[in-house]
Amino acid sequence: GCINIHASLLPRWRGAAPIQRAIEAGDTESGITIIQMDEGLDTGAMLVRTPCAISATETAETLHDRLADLGATAVLEALSQMAQGSLQPEAQDDAESCYAAKIHKHEADLDFSQPAALLERKVRAFNPWPVARATLNDQLLRIWQASAMSAPCDQPPGTIVHSDRDGIDVATGEGLLRLTRLQRPGGKAVAVSDLFNANATLYAVGKRFATPSA
């Protein structure tokens, strides 16, 4: 038979995008599972499970790279146990499974009516692809870095309530989302301080990000 290296602690996050979905969901732990492949989707018996913590600033890119290193070690461990005849396959509990659906580009369109904490997780989950985005001044901005803040706000979601070289604070459905690294059309991803050098008025208080189309 064949074995497979899966980037989650199965049975959680079976499917195509376990790294991104774990970050988006706010999981604090991920890991690698080596499984014996069967006819199902990531349903085979577990041979080796290696956990790792998800940090508060984790992106899909950084977690991917850490899991790649863990995966190499874990598959060698599985092969070693196989050679020694000491493997102890463990069946997955289907009741504890969940599905990591494939990422679609439209998911990167930020809806500021959602809570800031969720929006921050989306920014991290969709870095480096497809990259969170939102429209301001009829320009599609890619949002590479952001942080949620619990400050109260009575402005409509998507409204810029504060902006300076440290970040652009945007009202959300719950709390504020501070944007700190952005990419304008045709440009590179840069810190907000560099955008302010070009034209701070584009990000003035009171301007509002567009609501994504349904």
Neighbour count for residue 115 (Cβ, 10 Å): 16
pLDDT band at 214 (very low <50, low <70, confident <90, very high): low
How far the first Cα of the chain sits from its last, in Å, is 45
Classify domain 3-100 by CATH number: 3.40.50.170
pLDDT band at 8 (very low <50, low <70, confident <90, very high): very high
Write out pLDDT tens, residues 148-165: 999 999 999 999 999 999
Question: For all residues of the chain together, what is the average pLDDT?
Answer: 97
Query: Would you say the CATH fold of 106-203 matches that of 3-100?
Result: no
Domain ranges of the chain: 3-100, 106-203
Tell the residue number behind the tokens 């800031």, with chain if given: 116
Give the model's pLDDT for residue 199. 82
Give the model's pLDDT for residue 213. 80
Q: Are 169 and 177 in contact (CB under 8 A)?
A: yes
Write out pLDDT tens, residues 17-47: 999 999 999 999 999 999 999 999 999 999 9
pTM for the model stands at: 0.96
Note the CATH architecture for domain 106-203. Roll (3.10)
